[in-house]
Chain A
Amino acid sequence: MVVISDILVQGIQMLLVLLLAPLLTGFVRKVKARLVRRRGASVFQPYRDLLRLLRKEVVLADNASWLFRVTPYVTFAAIWVAAALVPTFATGLLFNWTADLIAIVALLGSARFFLALAGMDVGTSFGGIGSSREVMIAALAEPAMLLIVFCMALVAGSTQLSTVANHMASSYVGLRVSLGMAVIALIMVALAENARIPVDNPATHLELTMVHEAMVLEYSGRHLAMIEFGAFLKLLLYVSLIACVFLPWKIAVFGAGPLAYAVGTAAYIVKLAVAGFFLALFETATAKMRVFRVPQFLGAALMLGLLGTLLLFVSRSF
């Protein structure tokens, strides 16, 4: 029986994800600025950026096709749906059974597929650079992510993200070697997928250092706003994923009532702040790697995921 309140809670989750995503990126930028002794832009600046871009006129290349115009909406929708399926303040929401972890990874893969195609669409060299480097990074990050999913699924007995989160929150899982490896690998994959230092510089405009920025170079106006919003949502998705699986304190179970939801939301915002702070700290402390050291970095994540999966296959108590 589908109750109105259930739909309402799922809708609130989707809206919450949408509203918090630019705030997280704004917070990270602010902390990075403070760490290098600048004042930095306000944490609400990404909202203002998005509004500004939405109101601007789109300038399209002469030979851009319908794919170029459709891609921003498709990527935004795919990432938004994936982000709405990751538990934030409560697990077991109404439509959590439509897509499990593997489907979430594949949805992010479709968003990346379309973005890489859009990079090739206009036929400039920059688009080609971005797309080819992006698929190289994806060729290693996606298998690493899937092996991490295997680790989590073998520990929790299910690939359904709500079940995994409930398992981690309720039963005493303890310090497990495979989960330790999984969380390190997940952090490495999250850095690569969100185009953060040390894999890619999100603030660069130099061709030598671009991956994501090169793919979206030709976009402007509302299209660029959608793509940037998608990037914000993706960062929020990965942080929520790490939070709900590895930091599952105070996450509400579905149907627990508004007070539990409020506590869950507050805990979630605290987790976002902590993760954002550490991300900013890490980005400030490290330099960006050469492009061809990224495969070694991601290869290490892949090895960690494989080692964790192997340990879980060999013995359930690892």
Chain B
Amino acid sequence: MPALPISALVLQMSCVAGLLGISILAIALSRSRRATAVVYGATLAICAVALFASTYWLIGGNANASTVTLPIGLPWLGAHFRLDALASFFLVVVNLGGAAASLYGLGYGRHEEAPQRVLPFFPAFLAGMNLVVLADDAFTFLVSWEFMSLSSWALVMAHHDDPENRHAGYVYIVMASFGTLSLLLAFGLLAGGSGGYSFDEMRSAPTALSGLVLILVILGAGSKAGLVPLHVWLPLAHPAAPSHVSALMSGVMTKVAVYGFIRIVFDLAGPPAWWWSIVIIPLAGITCVLGVLSALMQHDLKRLLAYHTVENIGIIFIGLGLALAFSAHDMRAAAALAMTAALFHVLNHSIFKSLLFFGSGAVLTATGERDMEKLGGLIHGMPLTAFTFLAGCMAISALPPLNGFVSEWLIFQAILLSPDVPSWGIKLIVPAVGGMLALSAALAAACFVKAFGVSFLGRPRTTVAAGAQEVDRWSLAAMFIFASLCLLIGIIPAPIIDALGPAVKTLVAERMPMQSTDPWLSIIPIAESRSSYNGLLVMVFIATCASLAVYFIHRFASRALRRGPAWGCGFSDPTPLAQYSGGSFAQPIRRVFGTLVFRARDHVEMPPPGDIRPARLRIELHDLIWEGMYAPIARAVSVSSDRLNRLQFLTIRQYLSLVFATLVTLLLVLAIWS
């Protein structure tokens, strides 16, 4: 393919500069009526350019990385930036999400009450994410990471009059700072005694403490991505932000955290040890199951989607853990398959999660409600939104022929290759985690039947739900584009797998065989005799069979149709409150799984006969991780800070004796040490 006239890296850097410029412009324009259109239109244009450039670079298969060093930042270090295959792929993910969110925001942003709190930070957030992916030394990486966290924090606090949002922002900033601290320590270990902070220096001098680096990166990047037990901020912060920002946070920012993990663990930390995957894979499996079970218990649409992000991050980390296991034992082809599956799921998840958040934003705009117990019957008033939301639900439940199924299928194929790994830990853990993955896939389908069924189907439970209208065409355009992408990627996955090849090759020294050469466009991950999948043909078959059935029936049997009241076995209740709510739909699963995982109990208070009070059902759920881990730590911090507070109120004599004691201790240490 012909090369671009200017270097792709320079183009990306100028896009980032453009985004920062828009951010400053937004501060200036904030009181103007046209601010929303201008800002979102400009970010849409810039993200589209960046998306085009990075896709072009990726498809061109250009394996040469380009770097540039700017004389800003630390004087002896400068700021290094680098564009290679992995960074290019993640730039595609970031800018695709950014472009779609901007397109959505053109319509959604008009309903924002305080646009001056959202508009300046939105381009800054996008710029921060782009910079993290482009960074090539530790300082630039951490500064961009913090910039990304702070701008998203500002967006989370945009609606700060709601105390829940304030609480969410507080938890978010604490966890983000903790994550950055872990990453700082990890980079410090990687730089070693020589203090080489640029990534090239870290690559050429592998450290002996790479195990500790792995733990620190799991704490740092894993908390930003949402691994259990560091995920607690995610279901609080993601719903609090405006919907297009939630889409970016769930769909894109978590992927930037995954990029950080991949870059450090697969690229900078040197060859993997045998025990790394044994830590990551069970953690990822537990993340999957816990995420989806928590999602099933929610009745707030956005919180449900945020918990689902936790589950999908678990799926991605299962793929990454398998890739680590395979490369630790030098099984390169299998490692390529697992890594490709993980990266494919990164792309898929960013698409369908953003689509689902856009849909919930549309519902919020149309009805003002996020709680699905107050919705219902929206498919009649908002048919297009319902259609795209249904496509998103199908994609996330891994149903063929959409894209979610392809990445899960690839991960299952990678799991089936793991009995050849000669490690006992892997042999024991992988079947259990495979079972957990299958369980979470089935529970995800259940969760989205609940989400779609209770919100969009059935009868409206409140007047706002009954009066819902379709949203504006910008939002619909963004949703339709993503829904069609879900279908396209699902039926023609081969070009995506091939485009991922160079990135996978830099990470595990091998890539999957070229898929686009098959005449029927199937994907064959390992060998033809072993397994293959053709999404296009599956879709064609289903469409043909359905059309045949429709044709024959309408031609030879009856076409008659009559409308009437619902049958309901003759017991149809006129009140819409008699239909199943979200809590009742999840009750069987809550009873089977929730009693163990959440200590879920249903309390029924039945008034005595003759009393006209209504009976009450109260569902009690405990977040065991919050109560077992975070609440005691918070209490310990609070108690110790109260004790230490007494240091503020000492007398002069006590201060002097403190100074004296410190001096004597230091002198003692000197005496004993030497």
A and B touching (C-beta < 8 Å)?
A: yes
Interface residues of chain A, those whose CB is within 8 Å of chain B, are: 54-63, 65-67, 73-74, 76-78, 80-81, 84, 95, 97-100, 102-103, 106-107, 109-110, 112-113, 116-117, 119-129, 131-133, 135-136, 138-143, 146-147, 150, 153-154, 157-160, 163, 205, 207, 217-218, 221-222, 226, 291-292, 295, 302, 305-306, 309-310, 312-314, 316
Q: Is the CB of B379 within 8 A of A120?
A: no
One of A76, A218, A305 near B546 (C-beta < 8 A): A76
Q: Is the CB of B380 within 8 A of A132?
A: no
Q: Which residues, 355 to 380 on B, are CB-close (under 8 Å) to A?
A: 376-377, 379-380
One of B418, B427, B564, B571 near A59 (C-beta < 8 A): B564
Q: Is the CB of A158 within 8 A of B438?
A: no
Beta-carbon nearest neighbor of B409 in chain A: A102
3 interchain residue pairs of minimum CB distance: A128-B580, A120-B453, A123-B458
Q: Is the CB of A61 within 8 A of B558?
A: no
Q: What are 10 of the A-B contact pairs (CB < 8 Å)?
A: A58-B558, A73-B550, A103-B533, A106-B398, A123-B579, A132-B589, A142-B438, A146-B438, A217-B569, A314-B427
Asked if B670 is an interface residue, CB under 8 A from chain A, the answer is no
A97 CA to B529 CA in the complex, in Å? Answer: 9
Asked if B116 is an interface residue, CB under 8 A from chain A, the answer is no
Asked if B495 is an interface residue, CB under 8 A from chain A, the answer is no
Q: Which residues, 391 to 431 on B, are CB-close (under 8 Å) to A?
A: 394, 397-400, 405, 409, 412-413, 415-416, 418-419, 427-428, 430-431
Q: A125-B580, A160-B532 are in contact. Are A67 and B558 (CB under 8 A)?
A: no
A interface secondary structure, majority: helix
Q: Is the CB of B449 within 8 A of A135?
A: yes
A55 CA to B450 CA in the complex, in Å? Answer: 34
Q: Is the CB of B431 within 8 A of A207?
A: no
A221 CA to B560 CA in the complex, in Å? Answer: 9
Q: With A132-B588, A143-B438, A313-B419 given, can you name 7 additional A-B contacts, CB distance below 8 Å? A: A57-B560, A122-B568, A126-B568, A132-B586, A146-B434, A146-B438, A221-B558
Asked if B541 is an interface residue, CB under 8 A from chain A, the answer is yes
Beta-carbon nearest neighbor of B398 in chain A: A106
Q: How far does the Cβ of B296 sit from chain A's closest Cβ, in whole Å?
A: 9
Asked if B628 is an interface residue, CB under 8 A from chain A, the answer is no
One of A62, A73, A74 near B564 (C-beta < 8 A): A62
Q: How far does the Cβ of B655 sit from chain A's closest Cβ, in whole Å?
A: 63
Asked if B650 is an interface residue, CB under 8 A from chain A, the answer is no
A309 CA to B434 CA in the complex, in Å? Answer: 10
Q: Is the CB of B457 within 8 A of A103?
A: no
Query: B541-573: contact bitstring with A at CB < 8 Å (1 yes, 0 no)?
Result: 111011001100100011011111111110111
A62 CA to B567 CA in the complex, in Å? Answer: 10
Chain B residue contacts of A100, Cβ below 8 A: 531-533
Interface stretch of the complex, out of B323-331, B439-447, B479-487, B598-606: B439-447
Asked if B172 is an interface residue, CB under 8 A from chain A, the answer is no
A67 CA to B558 CA in the complex, in Å? Answer: 20
Q: Is the CB of A109 within 8 A of B445?
A: yes
Beta-carbon nearest neighbor of A292 in chain B: B591
Q: Is the CB of A139 within 8 A of B442?
A: yes
Chain A residue contacts of B439, Cβ below 8 A: 139-140, 143
Q: How far does the Cβ of A284 sit from chain B's closest Cβ, in whole Å?
A: 27
Chain B residue contacts of A217, Cβ below 8 A: 567-569
A80 CA to B409 CA in the complex, in Å? Answer: 21
A312 CA to B558 CA in the complex, in Å? Answer: 53
One of B380, B533, B563 near A65 (C-beta < 8 A): B380
A109 CA to B522 CA in the complex, in Å? Answer: 21
Q: Is the CB of A306 within 8 A of B431?
A: yes
Beta-carbon nearest neighbor of B587 in chain A: A132
One of B400, B430, B438, B522 near A97 (C-beta < 8 A): B522
Q: Is the CB of B579 within 8 A of A154?
A: no
Chain B residue contacts of A147, Cβ below 8 A: 431, 434-435, 438
Q: Is the CB of A107 within 8 A of B459?
A: no
Q: Is the CB of A123 within 8 A of B459?
A: yes
Q: How large is the interface on B (under 10, 10 to 19, 20 to 34, 35 or more residues)?
A: 35 or more
Chain B residue contacts of A140, Cβ below 8 A: 439, 442, 592
Q: Is the CB of B538 within 8 A of A81?
A: yes
Beta-carbon nearest neighbor of A129 in chain B: B580
Q: A135-B589, A139-B446, A222-B553 are in contact. Are A159 and B413 (CB under 8 A)?
A: yes
Q: A98-B538, A218-B566 are in contact. Are A159 and B558 (CB under 8 A)?
A: no
Chain A residue contacts of B33, Cβ below 8 A: none
Q: Is the CB of B584 within 8 A of A138?
A: no
A302 CA to B589 CA in the complex, in Å? Answer: 16
Q: Which residues, 448 to 465 on B, are CB-close (under 8 Å) to A?
A: 449-450, 452-454, 457-459
Chain B residue contacts of A116, Cβ below 8 A: 449, 453
Q: How far does the Cβ of B368 sit from chain A's closest Cβ, in whole Å?
A: 21
Q: Is the CB of B432 within 8 A of A306?
A: yes
Q: How far does the Cβ of A226 sit from chain B's closest Cβ, in whole Å?
A: 7
A1 CA to B564 CA in the complex, in Å? Answer: 53
A121 CA to B591 CA in the complex, in Å? Answer: 24
Asked if B57 is an interface residue, CB under 8 A from chain A, the answer is no
Q: A123-B566, A217-B567 are in contact. Are A132 and B376 (CB under 8 A)?
A: no
A157 CA to B560 CA in the complex, in Å? Answer: 51
Q: Is the CB of A207 within 8 A of B569?
A: yes
A163 CA to B528 CA in the complex, in Å? Answer: 11
Q: Is the CB of A121 within 8 A of B449?
A: no
A65 CA to B592 CA in the complex, in Å? Answer: 32
Asked if B77 is an interface residue, CB under 8 A from chain A, the answer is no
Chain A residue contacts of B45, Cβ below 8 A: none
Q: A63-B566, A73-B550, A313-B430 are in contact. Are A97 and B528 (CB under 8 A)?
A: yes
Q: Is the CB of A132 within 8 A of B584?
A: yes
Q: Is the CB of B435 within 8 A of A57?
A: no
Asked if B585 is an interface residue, CB under 8 A from chain A, the answer is yes
Chain A residue contacts of B409, Cβ below 8 A: 102-103, 106
Q: Is the CB of A159 within 8 A of B376?
A: no
Q: Is the CB of A61 within 8 A of B565?
A: yes
Q: A100-B531, A106-B399 are in contact. Are A124 and B579 (CB under 8 A)?
A: yes
Q: Is the CB of B533 within 8 A of A132?
A: no
Q: Is the CB of A81 within 8 A of B542?
A: yes
Chain B residue contacts of A136, Cβ below 8 A: 446, 588-589, 592
A113 CA to B412 CA in the complex, in Å? Answer: 21
A149 CA to B549 CA in the complex, in Å? Answer: 30
Asked if B537 is an interface residue, CB under 8 A from chain A, the answer is yes
Asked if B182 is an interface residue, CB under 8 A from chain A, the answer is no
A48 CA to B383 CA in the complex, in Å? Answer: 37
Q: A135-B589, A143-B439 are in contact. Are A117 and B558 (CB under 8 A)?
A: no
One of A66, A121, A126 near B569 (C-beta < 8 A): A126
Asked if B534 is an interface residue, CB under 8 A from chain A, the answer is yes
Chain B residue contacts of A205, Cβ below 8 A: 569
A123 CA to B394 CA in the complex, in Å? Answer: 21
Q: Is the CB of A302 within 8 A of B531?
A: no
Q: How far does the Cβ of A83 sit from chain B's closest Cβ, in whole Å?
A: 10
Chain A residue contacts of B561, Cβ below 8 A: 57-58, 60
Q: Is the CB of B566 within 8 A of A61?
A: yes
Q: Is the CB of A139 within 8 A of B443?
A: yes
Q: How far does the Cβ of B659 sit from chain A's closest Cβ, in whole Å?
A: 63
Q: Is the CB of B397 within 8 A of A133?
A: no
Q: How far does the Cβ of A211 sit from chain B's closest Cβ, in whole Å?
A: 10
Chain A residue contacts of B578, Cβ below 8 A: 124-125
Q: A63-B377, A99-B400 are in contact. Are A124 and B534 (CB under 8 A)?
A: no
Q: Is the CB of B445 within 8 A of A135?
A: yes
A77 CA to B545 CA in the complex, in Å? Answer: 5
Asked if B73 is an interface residue, CB under 8 A from chain A, the answer is no
Q: Is the CB of A117 within 8 A of B530?
A: no
A98 CA to B531 CA in the complex, in Å? Answer: 9
Chain A residue contacts of B452, Cβ below 8 A: 117
Chain B residue contacts of A60, Cβ below 8 A: 561-564
